[in-house]
C-alpha cells in the first residue's frame, strides 16, 4: 500500500506540475506572444503610444475647430471648454467675405499648382540626367545641387531679390515659376534627388531593349522612364504643392506689391487689419475665434487634397522603395 500510495502521490504531482507548466506557457503566450510582437503587453504599449501621439497631433486641430464655432460669451465663459453652446457660423462668414475666399482660393491654387507642376517636370528631367548619363563634373554638380538645399534661403535672399528686381519678376507669379522651371524652386534639390534615386532603380535592361528597337533618348525617357516614375511624380507634385501653398516668407518678399498672395498671408492680413480691440474685451475674444476660423479655412484645401490623394500617396511611398536590377 505504501508503494502504491507513493506512486499515486508522484503521479498526482506530475499532473499538477504539467497543469502548472501549461498554465504558465499559456499565460506567457497571452502576455508576450510568440515573438514578443503579438502579445497583450506589446499591443497595450503600442496602442497607448498611438493614442498619445494621435492626441498630441489632433489636439490643436480639435481646439481650432471647437473654438472657431464659439461666440464671445462661450469663449469667456468658464463652463464652456470644448462644446460650444451654439454653432456660430458667423466667424466663418466674416473670414469668407473679408478675404473674398473664392478668389483667394483660386490665387492660392495658381501660386501652388503652376510652380509645383513646373518643378515636377524640371526635376524629372534633371534627375534622369544625373541617374542615367555620365558627363564631366557630374559629382561636382551633384555636390553643388545639395549645397543649394543646405544653404539657408536667408543668406541668398538679398542677391536673389535684386536679381528678380532687375529681371522685373517681382510682384508676379513668374518669381516662383521661372526658378521652378530651371529646377531651383522651393526645395528643388529634394525633388531632383527623389527622381535621381527612383530612376537609378529602373533596370537597364528596359532601356537597352528600347535602344535596340530604335528609340531615341527622349523616347526612352517619355515612354519607359516616365510611366515607371508615376509614384515619384505623385510624391514630388504633392510635396511641392503643399510647400508652395504654405510659403509665406518668400511670398511676402516677392509678391508684396501684387494682389496675388497665398492663402495664409491673405488671411493673416485680414486678421491684422481687424485686430484692433483691447485685450480681454469680448470683441478681442471673438477676434480670436475669427482667427481660428481663418486658420481652418486656410488648411481646409490641403485636408481635402490629402483626403482624395492619400491612397495614391501611400502607394507611391511604398513603390519608391522597390529596388530594380
Do 144 and 151 meet the contact criterion of CB atoms below 8 Å apart?
A: no
- Does domain 95-319 match CATH 1.10.3720.10? yes
pLDDT digits (tens, 9 = 90+) for 66-78: 888 887 777 777 6
Q: Which three cell numbers stand for residue 155?
A: 543668406
| pLDDT for the residue 73 | 74
Q: How far apart are CA 299 and CA 295, in angstroms?
A: 6
Residues of the chain falling short of pLDDT 70: 1-39, 78-80, 275-286, 315-325
Counting other chains too, the contacts that 295-299 makes at CB distance below 8 Å and 24 or more residues apart are 295/64, 295/68, 295/267, 296/64, 296/65, 296/68, 296/92, 297/92, 297/95, 297/96, 297/101, 297/263, 297/267, 298/263, 298/264, 298/267
| pLDDT for the residue 117 | 94
Q: Which residues contact 240 (CB under 8 A, 6 or more apart)?
A: 115, 116, 119, 120, 180, 185, 186, 187, 191
Residue showing cell 466667424 = 91
Do 264 and 251 meet the contact criterion of CB atoms below 8 Å apart?
A: no
Alpha-carbon distances of 111 from 124, 128, 246, 249, 269, rounded to whole Å: 20, 26, 10, 14, 17
pLDDT digits (tens, 9 = 90+) for 204-214: 888 878 888 88
Cα dihedral: 45, 50, 51, 55 (round 10):
140
Residue showing cell 502521490 = 9
> What is the phi/psi pair of residue 149, to 5°?
-90, -35
| pLDDT for the residue 276 | 62
| pLDDT for the residue 322 | 42
Amino acid at each position: 500500500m505504501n508503494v502504491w500510495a507513493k506512486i499515486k502521490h508522484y503521479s498526482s504531482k506530475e499532473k499538477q506540475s504539467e497543469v502548472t507548466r501549461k498554465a504558465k506557457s499559456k499565460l506567457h503566450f497571452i502576455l508576450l506572444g510568440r515573438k514578443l510582437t503579438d502579445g497583450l503587453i506589446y499591443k497595450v504599449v503600442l496602442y497607448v503610444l498611438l493614442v498619445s501621439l494621435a492626441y498630441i497631433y489632433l489636439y490643436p486641430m480639435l481646439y481650432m475647430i471647437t473654438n472657431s464655432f464659439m461666440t464671445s460669451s462661450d469663449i469667456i465663459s468658464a463652463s464652456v471648454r470644448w462644446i460650444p453652446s451654439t454653432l456660430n457660423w458667423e466667424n466663418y462668414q466674416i473670414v469668407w467675405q473679408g478675404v473674398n475666399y473664392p478668389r483667394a482660393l483660386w490665387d492660392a491654387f495658381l501660386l501652388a499648382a503652376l510652380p509645383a507642376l513646373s518643378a515636377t517636370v524640371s526635376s524629372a528631367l534633371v534627375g534622369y540626367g544625373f541617374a542615367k548619363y555620365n558627363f564631366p563634373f557630374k559629382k561636382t554638380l551633384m555636390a553643388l545641387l545639395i549645397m543649394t538645399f543646405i544653404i539657408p534661403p536667408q543668406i541668398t535672399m538679398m542677391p536673389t531679390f535684386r536679381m528678380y528686381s532687375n529681371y522685373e519678376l517681382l510682384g508676379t507669379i513668374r518669381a516662383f515659376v521661372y526658378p521652378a522651371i530651371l529646377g531651383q524652386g522651393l526645395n528643388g534639390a529634394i525633388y531632383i534627388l527623389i527622381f535621381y534615386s527612383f530612376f537609378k532603380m529602373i533596370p537597364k535592361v528596359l532601356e537597352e531593349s528600347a535602344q535596340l528597337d530604335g528609340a531615341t533618348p527622349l523616347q526612352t525617357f517619355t515612354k519607359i522612364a516616365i510611366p515607371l516614375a508615376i509614384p515619384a511624380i505623385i510624391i514630388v507634385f504633392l510635396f511641392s504643392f503643399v510647400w508652395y501653398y504654405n510659403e509665406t516668407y518668400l511670398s511676402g518678399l516677392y509678391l508684396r506689391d501684387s494682389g496675388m498672395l497665398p492663402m495664409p498671408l491673405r488671411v493673416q492680413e485680414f486678421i491684422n487689419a481687424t485686430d484692433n480691440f483691447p485685450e480681454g474685451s469680448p470683441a478681442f475674444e471673438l477676434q480670436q475665434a475669427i482667427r481660428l476660423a481663418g486658420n481652418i479655412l486656410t488648411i481646409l484645401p490641403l485636408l481635402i487634397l490629402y483626403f482624395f490623394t492619400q491612397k495614391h500617396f501611400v502607394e507611391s511611398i511604398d513603390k519608391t522603395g522597390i529596388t530594380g536590377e
